[in-house]
């Protein structure tokens, strides 16, 4: 039934497998399953006490597995090295990912923006499905096993864990993730292993993350969420980012889906210096409509103080900040406000200003930008161009995407391709035997 690859190599005090996958996250689990499907003996080494620790917290515990968009649209959502991902995505696309989970009794649903989630809203169902598949395919999963070194002598890799146990194999798949949310186990170990094999590391930086702002009035808005606003990030007169959505103010700056996405777009530029953020608080209203709206509010409150005339227009937390920025005395009677002052107020509502100064750290970043240079990896197999038999999968590589399920799609596709390629390269048979499996 199971076709084992030959050429197993045993080293003293260790056990031997044909393919070793390091890292039991999304990419590693998928890689192990795809390799095992080819009939190879697969050993999966994971440092944590359980598989897929990061997967548990994806999509706020619901796991946005992938996106149901047309497959070619995925590439528009990959921010770095989209072309490198062609082979992987077309080998194992978003619809195949969905089929895999559905065929394995994990029904999915599609929400706004094509985001795909398990019907149960439990990320744990996604992990359980993968873990079951690994069991079915007889993948040898070792938990609590942190790899500390990977070396190669002749045609054999030697993988040593922190308890000095050494495993050997003819192929190794590195799927150790990036640096984001290090508490989930991704602490960049794979970067070191790859660098020791001569691979180049593109400096990892946090992305899809909240940002710091300069102005002292921003922390006063802490906890305030603005829905349906328009955020623009400007470099001088040049617009770098312009989108609608939800923005959250925090004690240090700005966050929320709108700003997380912005962080991916402006990432390289913000590392070089501050950028201007301009928020349109009333994007649904034209200039005339906004002017009429304010006139109406002012008319109704004409004998009130300015500070008591904005409650219809703005959330309470925002009012003192807006008043401060407008320069209008809060005690002034509304009927004393001049046309110029009203115009200036409108200008602030249209362009609520802040200065972006940097990113929050890896502890809060959804993904890592940077990683192993993709020019040194074969895009059609995920095998290293430097070291035969060494493969890469997932966030460890210099590939990242926007929110919406695209980062997990990168993990599934690259994991699948790495496992498939390593498994097929391990075949001694001329005709690779495809095992019957939920992944196809």
With a CB cutoff of 8 Å and minimum separation 6, the contacts of 237 are: none
Question: Nearer to ligand FAD by C-beta: 249 or 392?
Answer: 392
Q: How many alpha carbons lie under 13 Å from residue 346 in its C-beta half-sphere?
A: 20
Q: Which is nearer to ligand FAD, 233 or 411 (CB)?
A: 411
| Shortest distance in whole angstroms from residue 229 CB to ligand FAD | 23
Between 181 and 212, CB nearer to ligand FAD: 181
Q: Which two tokens stand for residue 359?
A: 């990113």
Minimum gap (Å) between residue 398 Cβ and ligand FAD: 12
Helix/strand/coil for 2 = coil
CB closer to ligand FAD out of 53 and 282: 53
Nearest-angstrom CA–CA distance, 312 and 321: 16
Q: What angle do CA 127, 17, 172 make, to 5 degrees?
A: 70
Instruction: Look up residue 95 and give its DSSP letter.
Output: H
Pick the closer one to ligand FAD by CB: 352 or 406: 406
| 3-state SS, residue 205 | strand
Least distance to ligand FAD from the beta carbon of 91, Å? 17
Residues of the shown chain interacting with ligand FAD in the complex, contacts defined by CB under 6 A: 22-28, 45-48, 53-54, 57-59, 63-64, 146-147, 175-177, 180-181, 185-186, 189, 366-367, 394-396, 405-408, 411
Closer by beta carbon to ligand FAD, 23 or else 389: 23
Residue identified by tokens 């993709």 is: 374
Query: 338 phi and psi, to 5 degrees?
Result: -85, 165
Please tell me the distance from the alpha carbon of residue 324 to that of residue 215, in angstroms, as a whole number. Answer: 12
Retrieve residue 90's tokens: 């077309």
Smallest separation (angstroms) from ligand FAD to the CB of 114? 12
Q: Tokens in use for 18?
A: 């044909």
Between 113 and 219, CB nearer to ligand FAD: 113
Least Å distance, CB 67 to ligand FAD, is: 8
Radius of gyration of the chain (CA): 26
When the beta carbons of 26 and 277 are compared against ligand FAD, the nearer one is 26
DSSP letter, residue 77: H
Q: How far is the CB of 230 from ligand FAD (least distance, A)?
A: 24
What is the smallest separation between the CB atom of 387 and ligand FAD, expressed in angstroms? 18
Instruction: Indicate the residue among 36 and 322 with the shorter CB distance to ligand FAD.
Output: 36
In the DSSP assignment, the letter for residue 434 is: P
* H helix count then E strand count, the chain: 13, 21
Structure tokens at 49: 């006490």
Q: Which of 410, 321, 323 is nearest to 367 (CA)?
A: 410
C-alpha to C-alpha distance for 298 and 300, rounded to whole angstroms: 5
């Amino acid at each position: 039934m199971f076709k084992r690859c030959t050429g197993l190599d045993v080293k003293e005090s260790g056990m031997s497998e044909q393919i070793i996958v390091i890292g039991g996250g999304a990419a590693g689990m998928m890689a192990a399953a795809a390799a095992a499907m080819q009939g190879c003996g697969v050993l999966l080494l994971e440092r944590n006490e359980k598989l897929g620790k990061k997967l548990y917290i994806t999509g706020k515990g619901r796991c946005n597995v992938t996106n149901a968009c047309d497959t070619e649209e995925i590439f528009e959502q990959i921010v770095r090295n989209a072309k490198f991902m062609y082979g992987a995505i077309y080998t194992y696309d978003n619809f195949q990912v969905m089929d895999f989970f559905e065929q394995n009794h994990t029904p999915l649903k599609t929400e706004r923006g094509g985001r795909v989630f398990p019907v149960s809203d439990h990320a744990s169902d996604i992990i359980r499905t993968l873990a079951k598949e690994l069991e079915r395919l007889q993948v040898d999963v070792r938990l609590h096993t942190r790899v500390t070194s990977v070396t190669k002598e002749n045609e054999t890799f030697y993988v040593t864990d922190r308890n000095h146990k050494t495993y050997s194999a003819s192929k190794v798949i590195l799927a150790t993730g990036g640096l984001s949310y290090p508490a989930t186990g991704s602490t960049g170990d794979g970067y070191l292993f790859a660098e020791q094999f001569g691979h180049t590391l593109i400096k990892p930086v946090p992305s899809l993350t909240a940002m710091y702002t300069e102005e002292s009035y921003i922390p006063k808005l802490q906890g305030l969420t603005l829905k349906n606003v328009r955020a623009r990030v400007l470099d001088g007169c040049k617009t770098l980012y312009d989108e609608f959505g939800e923005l959250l103010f925090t004690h240090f700056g700005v966050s929320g889906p709108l700003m997380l996405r912005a962080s991916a777009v402006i990432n390289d530029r913000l590392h070089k210096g501050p950028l201007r953020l301009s928020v349109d608080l009333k994007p649904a209203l034209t200039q005339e409509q906004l002017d009429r709206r304010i006139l109406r509010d002012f008319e109704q409150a004409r004998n009130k103080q300015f500070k008591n005339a904005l409650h219809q227009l703005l959330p309470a937390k925002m009012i003192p900040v807006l008043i401060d920025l407008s320069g209008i005395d809060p005690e002034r009677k509304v009927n004393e406000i001049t046309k110029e002052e009203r115009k200036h107020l409108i200008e602030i509502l249209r362009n609520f200003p802040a200065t972006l100064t940097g990113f929050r750290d890896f502890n809060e970043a959804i993904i890592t930008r940077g990683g192993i240079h993709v020019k040194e990896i074969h895009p059609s197999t995920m095998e290293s161009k430097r070291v035969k038999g060494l493969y890469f999968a997932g966030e460890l590589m210099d590939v990242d995407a926007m929110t919406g399920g695209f980062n997990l799609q990168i993990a599934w596709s690259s994991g699948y391709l790495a496992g498939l390629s390593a498994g097929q390269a391990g075949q001694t048979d001329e005709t690779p035997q495809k095992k019957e499996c939920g992944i196809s």
